[in-house]
Amino acid sequence: MEKEDTVVNNNVFVLGAGDTVIPAKEPLHYDKKNRGSGPGLAFGKAISKAYPGRKILLVPAAVGGTKISYWTPDNSRGLYKEAIRKATVAMNYGTLKGMVWQQGESDSNSKDAPLYKQRLKELIANFRKDLGNDNLPVVVGGLGGFLRSKYYPVVNAALKETASEMGNVRFSEASKLGHIGDSLHFNSKAQRENGLNMAEAMLKMIK
């Protein structure tokens, strides 16, 4: 994380640990001890800039290193159910406006990559159904071009195709500003650009 990742915006909040609403700053997530910055804060600030009179509440539910198959309603890990629970808590404070999906690295293998598009479509349909909005705007973020797996283009294509085939779903191109040295995780500058790209895609749907 860099200094600007910890600068708060008076109109951007996050649903934190214990379901507390606090000013948003990185790290937004609390799934792992070695967590860093993501696209969420830059996304929130960009949405706030477009709607200066509104309060923005971010609801982080991501868990690092997971496959999309872990995010089904009946999966024993409970990731999907916890995401729905958090979103439901957040809706006590306002209206749910959209969802961002940034995942796919763990599915970039010969077994999972060919199944990714169908799984993603089912995931979006499930979230929309259980959140009570069949047209909930969804932005899906692209994978970094630095990934070493030869199957990541298959997952990236699935993300793009899902956005073109489903209504109110947009694809957001991944930043080319680099990784943290592991050819896996975006660096801070790239994460901020990802957030801005995602916000631009979201604003085209919700405005």
d(C-alpha 174, C-alpha 15), whole Å: 25
User: Is 52 within 8 Å of 60 (Cβ atoms)?
Assistant: no
Go through the domains of the chain in sequence order and give each one's CATH number: 3-206 (3.40.50.1110)
d(C-alpha 179, C-alpha 156), whole Å: 17
Angle at 126 between CA 121 and CA 130, to 5 degrees: 155
Please give the pLDDT value at position 5. 76
Please give the pLDDT value at position 115. 98
Please give the pLDDT value at position 7. 81
Please give the pLDDT value at position 26. 85
Please give the pLDDT value at position 183. 86
Report the share of the chain in percent with pLDDT over 70. 98
- The model's pLDDT over 70-79, given as tens digits with 9 standing for 90+, comes to 999 999 999 9
Average pLDDT over residues 125-135: 97
Confidence of residue 87 (pLDDT cuts 50, 70, 90): very high
Angle at 85 between CA 80 and CA 88, to 5 degrees: 125
3-state secondary structure the chain: CCHHHHCCCCCEEEECHHHCEEECCCCCCCCCCCCCCCCHHHHHHHHHHHCCCCCEEECCCCCCCCCHHHHCCCCCCCHHHHHHHHHHHHCCCCCCCCEEECCCHHHCCCCCHHHHHHHHHHHHHHHHHHCCCCCCCEEEECCCCCCCCCCHHHHHHHHHHHHHHCCCEEEECCCCCCECCCCCCECHHHHHHHHHHHHHHHHHHHC
**More confident: 38 or 15:** 15
CA 125 from centroid of its chain's CA atoms = 16
Average pLDDT over residues 12-31: 89
Average pLDDT over residues 186-196: 93
Tally of CB atoms within 10 A around 133 = 16
Tokens 């993501």 belong to 38
**Poorest-pLDDT segment among 20-34, 109-123, 150-164, 174-188:** 20-34
Q: Provide the residue count of the chain.
A: 207
**More confident: 27 or 141:** 141
Confidence of residue 8 (pLDDT cuts 50, 70, 90): confident
- The model's pLDDT over 23-72, given as tens digits with 9 standing for 90+, comes to 999 888 776 666 677 899 999 999 999 999 899 999 999 998 899 999 99
Please give the pLDDT value at position 31. 65
Residue 91 in this model has a pLDDT that exceeds 80: yes
